[in-house]
Chains A and B, each alone.
Chain A
């Protein structure tokens, strides 16, 4: 049980924060829709690109580089998730824990070095 302000459980206050966010968007948008002007013109709904009608597909092909970085991110993000619980308790642990985490970090850095060597970090 993690009590926060007023002695309410933190899960409830987190829910309150999320609902407040939703309420801000709902209230703001409905207010804006209520008092904002409305006018209709066929050109208004066009995509804003350069002033003349858009040509071709908008879902264009994009660089595969973004995808590679996303994959790398996945690897390192999972690593972060693994390391956080260790980081909390690391203070009281001895040399064994340093060694174990050292091996883990070494394997990770090896992975980064491999990706680097393979040219995944190169923007071609």
Chain B
């Protein structure tokens, strides 16, 4: 397995050879920021293209195919188009909160984005409470959405924001409990520790039944958390125009759109981290040759491939299930997912306590 810390260590010593230590740190921080920004923007553009293409395939259409080969430049064209749109000033809004909302949404997704295990030695934020930090920052996004809806001074946005708030806080519980089930199994909250714990076998195989239940619940709750698929009623086009971002125009809207697609990636990235080993290749204990072949594939590709596969499942949900009503949605969380999740936590506790895991 190629260790990226060789590259970063070499770069670090190279910079240190002709710069004072503080300047090296600053340069490295700027480098991290630029790489993060590029990865964020490129992934969002890729995801917009990928989703449109996949949705086309689900509906027996072609999807975007005019701009560039296979329509690959379509999302770039969309990006430039949204950049040259006017930012329309709206009367009677709470200006400060209106401007603040996109910041909160983007910053929350950026902080969560940086926690993900990108590859061997490419861990940008590595707290010993990493996964807890991730749940904490991702809940800031809800605040941004609530502010956006409330400050727009519009009935549609208010209803959209309230629905979104109720939905996201409710499903956050399920996400938290699913994460806790895996933390119980692994005994660590640090992202690198979680990845390290899956060296021989991924957690979904280690924890068998409770881990699979936790995974299914996580995927459902993750879909709801990103306001997608059957749970997209905060922005149900047919009833609320565009939900909480109705009043936003041009790039203001574009930022919400960006964060939404990145949240899709973050949710599937966290699922990858918790259940499918982060950047760890598929290892089966005892199969030495097989493990050696799997090690040949770079860790970054493993992570991205697993995350994109999981997000295509989430995209698939959207075209399979009809949209729920708000009462059905909340009842589903509080009457089914939450009790099942608590039960599952106890099950995992028993599995761990009696050593029934692999």
Chain A: residues with CB nearer than 8 A to chain B?
Answer: 2-8, 10, 12-14, 16-25, 28-29, 31-33, 35-39, 44-49, 54, 58-60, 62, 65-66, 69-70, 72-73, 76-77, 80, 83-84, 87-92, 95, 98, 101-102, 105, 108-109, 112, 116, 121, 123
Contacts and interface: CB of A to CB of B under 8 A. Distances in A.
B189 interface: yes
23 contacts: A5-B5, A17-B114, A21-B111, A23-B37, A29-B252, A38-B86, A44-B89, A47-B153, A48-B154, A48-B241, A48-B246, A49-B154, A54-B154, A54-B155, A73-B172, A87-B180, A87-B183, A91-B185, A105-B346, A121-B330, A121-B334, A123-B330, A123-B331
Contacts of B172: 73, 77
B353 A98 contact: yes
A13 B124 CA distance: 7
A5 B183 contact: no
Interface stretch (B156-164, B203-211, B223-231): B156-164
Contacts of A17: 33, 36, 110-111, 113-114, 124-125
B114 A14 contact: yes
A21 B122 CA distance: 19
A28 B255 contact: yes
Nearest to B246: A48
Contacts of A108: 342
Contacts of A44: 88-89
Contact of A73 (B83, B87, B133, B170): B170
Interface of B is mostly: helix
Contacts of B11: 6
B247 A47 contact: yes
Chain B contact residues (Cβ within 8 angstroms of A): what range?
A: 35 or more
B145 to A, nearest CB: 14
B89 A21 contact: no
Interface string B162-190: 10011001101100110010011101111
Given A58-B155, A108-B342, 9 more contacts: A8-B25, A14-B133, A19-B33, A21-B111, A32-B250, A32-B251, A76-B173, A95-B353, A102-B346
A31 B83 CA distance: 7
A19 B352 CA distance: 40
B327 interface: yes
Interface stretch (B61-69, B100-108, B274-282, B308-316): B100-108
B196 interface: no
Nearest to A32: B251
A107 to B, nearest CB: 12
Given A36-B87, A60-B158, A4 B123 contact: yes
B25 A91 contact: no
A25 B106 contact: yes
A105 B176 contact: no
Given A5-B32, A32-B83, A66-B162, A47 B154 contact: yes
Contacts of A121: 330-331, 334-335
Interface of B: 5, 8, 11-12, 25, 28-29, 32-33, 36-37, 40-41, 82-92, 102-103, 106-111, 113-114, 121-128, 132-133, 150, 152-156, 158-159, 162, 165-166, 169-170, 172-173, 176-177, 180, 183-185, 187-190, 241, 246-247, 250-252, 254-255, 326-327, 330-331, 334-335, 338-339, 342, 345-346, 349, 352-353
A20 B154 contact: no
B189 A84 contact: yes
Closest 3 pairs (CB-CB, A-B):
A123-B327, A21-B110, A45-B91
Nearest to A56: B155
A2 B87 contact: no
A46 B89 CA distance: 9
B33 A62 contact: no
User: In this complex, which of A36, A83, A98, A108 has the most chain B Cβ atoms within 10 angstroms of its Cβ?
Assistant: A36
A69 to B, nearest CB: 5
Nearest to B177: A80
B50 to A, nearest CB: 21
A89 B349 CA distance: 11
A60 B91 CA distance: 18
A66 B246 contact: no
Given A10-B126, A77-B172, A45 B90 contact: yes
